[in-house]
Amino acid sequence: MPLPVQVFNLQGAVEPMQIDVDPQEDQQNAPDINYVVENPTLDLEQYASSYSGLMRIERLQFIADHCPQLRVEALKMALSFVQRTFNVDVYEEIHRKLSEATSPPGAWSFIGLLQRELQNTPDAVPDGGIEPPPLDTAWVEATRKKALLKLEKLDTDLKNYKGNSIKESIRRGHDDLGDHYLDCGDLSNALKCYSRARDYCTSAKHVINMCLNVIKVSVYLQNWSHVLSYVSKAESTPEIAEQRGERDSQTQAILTKLKCAAGLAELAARKYKQAAKCFLLASFDHCDFPELLSPSNVAVYGGLCALATFDRQELQRNVISSSSFKLFLELEPQVRDIIFKFYESKYASCLKMLDEMKDNLLLDMYLAPHVRTLYTQIRNRALIQILYARDVDQRSTTFEKSLLMGKEFQRRAKAMILRAAVLRNQIHVKKNFPQLRRETRRWWLLLGDGASSFPTPHVGRGQVALRFRDGSKLLFGFLNFFFCLFFDRSECPSSSSSKERFPRTLFSVPLLPFSLHISFGLKGLESL
């Protein structure tokens, strides 16, 4: 008989080279819950010992539903543990699953049951099957009676407390009643009792205890918005909010529980980066929350979410160099090696190790729906790291600085040449016009005759006219500045008598934000 194959819904899966993935489309392509894990390497006994209460039962049932090899063992462990509680309904359900798992296919079908009824041999099992454990009906009846009696007693005590109007007693009565409902598997009534205790809290410690109880039941119900709401309420209490520096052991333990619960809620909402940040804030020395998750879960959840969402700097700063999270990673050496291989750019080894531990991750009830998405994001991030071009910012900065320095040296050299020419010709220039705007273009200073294409009014000798270099016809003003340094004023020719154009020399002065051009005559100035 061929072994059953592992089934995955690959329709709509993201290709390895597809980097830009639509998050909404990715959420719609969630993996099928009816997958089968064939090759687990999970130590079931050690795994189950990390949890307590209803969480242990739910995790064992999840493993039994998805792993045929561990189904019988997981159901037997769950059946043995559930008998320590008042949860009779779950006991009967687990016993039914175990009977189906230990019997050959078809033994518990309608036809098989009919044949056994006709043969009047209810305990007979066909050849090749394993005898299922008998249903302990005596325990079922006794447990139901005990649960009912305890419920009546707790209800009576609560009524007496309300009659005495003692808030502390009423709060404890609600908590005890909620604990009993939780032990019986009645999560809705347990949540109601824990929530009613809020009206009778007299201190911040009581409020935090109430929030933790509500958070625990909300996680069992997978009401993640409720979880985040009560995490915020607990963190806003003075006992938590005011202690920003050193916290005592009890406060640190409470904060770790809150961060772990918030991390689970963010993980369920597919906010992987926020989930990673929450798990990274957990304290290893104070991580004692077996009702929800184990320290190994913190290492796996936080490590995979960080790999999928953090860049190299964040991964090195928040994960690899984190003194607290290193202790969590010591519990999961495989996850630790994957993170280091990824950071060292050994992506082939990293992806191979991820594939090796995939079966175990698919047996985790909170991580299994996100394994494919997380693996896709990690693979895409590895491909991006391989194909990412070398950063050339430092080289570009060096080239830009060299060009700027060259331009500055060129400007200074031209200014020195101009100054030397001005001093050699004994020219003194005075500025008597307003400061121009910095956005102005280069100006031309015309002494004497200007360009013939510049139709300005008559400019006398020694007068100055300014215009834009781009040709806009703007007459800035006139300055009565006479250049009679080389000759007497009487020798300067007038505009009416002199038609001769004297030789002129043009200088360019780079006066920011414009350049000053000087045109002067060696023997005199001519008029327009």
What is residue 392's predicted lDDT score, i.e. its pLDDT?
58
Tokens 């991964």, located at residue: 315
Q: Are 181 and 189 in contact (CB under 8 A)?
A: yes
The verdict on 413 and 458 lying in the same domain is: no
The verdict on 339 and 405 lying in the same domain is: no
Choose the final residue of a domain: 380, 405, 420.
Answer: 420
Compute and round to an integer the Cα radius of gyration of the chain. 43
Longest Cα separation, the chain: 147
Choose the final residue of a domain: 420, 438, 464.
Answer: 420
The verdict on 340 and 440 lying in the same domain is: no
CA distances from 143 to 38, 85, 136, 362, 402 (A): 37, 8, 11, 35, 86
Instruction: Tell whether 30 is covered by a domain.
Output: no
The verdict on 449 and 477 lying in the same domain is: yes
The verdict on 410 and 444 lying in the same domain is: no
Paired tokens of 113:
């049951």
Instruction: Tell whether 400 is covered by a domain.
Output: yes
The verdict on 372 and 253 lying in the same domain is: yes
The verdict on 359 and 260 lying in the same domain is: yes
Q: Which parts of 312-451 are beta strand (E)?
A: 443-447
Instruction: Tell whether 178 is covered by a domain.
Output: no
The verdict on 251 and 382 lying in the same domain is: yes
- Bridge-partner residues for 508, per DSSP? 517
Measured at the CA of 514, the angle between CA 508 and CA 520, to 5 degrees, comes to: 35
CA-based nearest residue to 335, from 298, 376, 382: 298
- Bridge-partner residues for 518, per DSSP? 507
Instruction: Tell whether 163 is covered by a domain.
Output: no
Instruction: Point out the residues of the chain with pLDDT beneath 70.
Output: 1-33, 104-132, 241-247, 386-392, 428-528
Q: How far is CA 156 from the centre of its chain?
A: 49
Q: Torsions phi, psi of 520, nearest 5?
A: -140, 160
Q: Are 510 and 477 in contact (CB under 8 A)?
A: no
Instruction: Tell whether 65 is covered by a domain.
Output: no
The verdict on 311 and 410 lying in the same domain is: no
Instruction: Tell whether 361 is covered by a domain.
Output: yes
The verdict on 356 and 396 lying in the same domain is: no
What is residue 416's predicted lDDT score, i.e. its pLDDT?
92
The range of the structural domain enclosing residue 439 comes to 425-521
**Sequence-separated (6 or more) residues with CB below 8 Å from residue 86:** 143, 146, 147, 150, 180, 183, 184, 185
Instruction: Tell whether 306 is covered by a domain.
Output: yes
443-447 and 464-468: which strand pairing? Answer: antiparallel
Rounded to whole angstroms, how far apart are CA atoms 186 and 90? 11
Model confidence over 357-399: pLDDT tens digits?
Answer: 999 999 999 999 999 999 999 999 888 776 655 555 777 788 8
Rounded to 10 deg, the angle between the 333-343 and 295-309 helix axes is 20
Q: Are 507 and 422 in contact (CB under 8 A)?
A: yes
Q: Are 279 and 298 in contact (CB under 8 A)?
A: yes
Q: For the chain, how many structural domains are there in total?
A: 3
**Sequence-separated (6 or more) residues with CB below 8 Å from residue 26:** 14, 373, 376
Q: b/e string for 355-387 if b means 16 or more Cβ within 10 A?
A: eebebbbbbbbbbbbbbbbbbbbbbbbbeeeee
- Bridge-partner residues for 466, per DSSP? 445
What is residue 163's predicted lDDT score, i.e. its pLDDT?
87
The verdict on 338 and 471 lying in the same domain is: no
The verdict on 253 and 384 lying in the same domain is: yes
Instruction: Tell whether 371 is covered by a domain.
Output: yes
